[in-house]
Amino acid sequence: MSQIRVQVHDHTGTIVLSRPEKRNALTRQMMAEIEQAFRDLHLEKKVRAVVLTGSGPAFCAGMDLGEMSQTAQQSDAYALWEQDARAYRELVETMLRFPKPIIAAVDGAAVAGGMGLVLASDIVVASSGAKFGLPEPKRGLVAGIVAPLLNFRLGGSRAAYLLLTGRLIEAAEAQQMGLVHEIVASQQIWARASQIAVECGQSAPEAIAMTKKMLNETIGDHLQTLLAAGAALSSAARTTEAAKEGRAAFLEKRPPNWP
SS3 at position 202: coil
> Mind listing the pLDDT tens digit for each residue in 148-189?
999 999 999 999 999 999 999 999 999 999 999 999 999 999
> Mind listing the pLDDT tens digit for each residue in 67-92?
888 888 888 888 888 999 999 999 99
CA distance 116 to 227: 11
pTM, two decimal places: 0.95
Q: Does 232 reside within a domain?
A: yes
Q: Are strands 123-127 and 102-106 parallel, antiparallel or unpaired?
A: parallel
> Mind listing the pLDDT tens digit for each residue in 125-146?
999 999 999 999 999 999 999 9
The number of distinct structural domains making up the chain is 1
The mean pLDDT of 208-233, rounded to a whole number, is 93
Looking up residue 114, the CATH number of its domain turns out to be 3.90.226.10
Q: Does 95 reside within a domain?
A: yes
- Would residue 44 show up in a list of annotated catalytic residues for this protein? no
Confidence class for position 53, pLDDT limits 50, 70, 90:
very high
Q: Does 191 reside within a domain?
A: no
Q: Does 211 reside within a domain?
A: no
What is the model's pLDDT at position 229? 94
> Mind listing the pLDDT tens digit for each residue in 94-112?
999 999 999 999 999 999 9
Q: Does 169 reside within a domain?
A: yes
Name every residue whose Cβ is closer than 8 Å to that of residue 14 and which is 6 or more positions away in sequence.
5, 6, 7, 8, 50, 51, 52, 53, 190, 194
Domain holding 87, by residue range, is 4-186+201-206+223-252
Q: Does 168 reside within a domain?
A: yes
Estimate the share of the chain in helix, then strand, then coil, as percent rounded to the nearest 5.
55, 15, 30
Q: Does 257 reside within a domain?
A: no
Catalytic option among 21, 93, 136, 173: 136
Q: Does 196 reside within a domain?
A: no
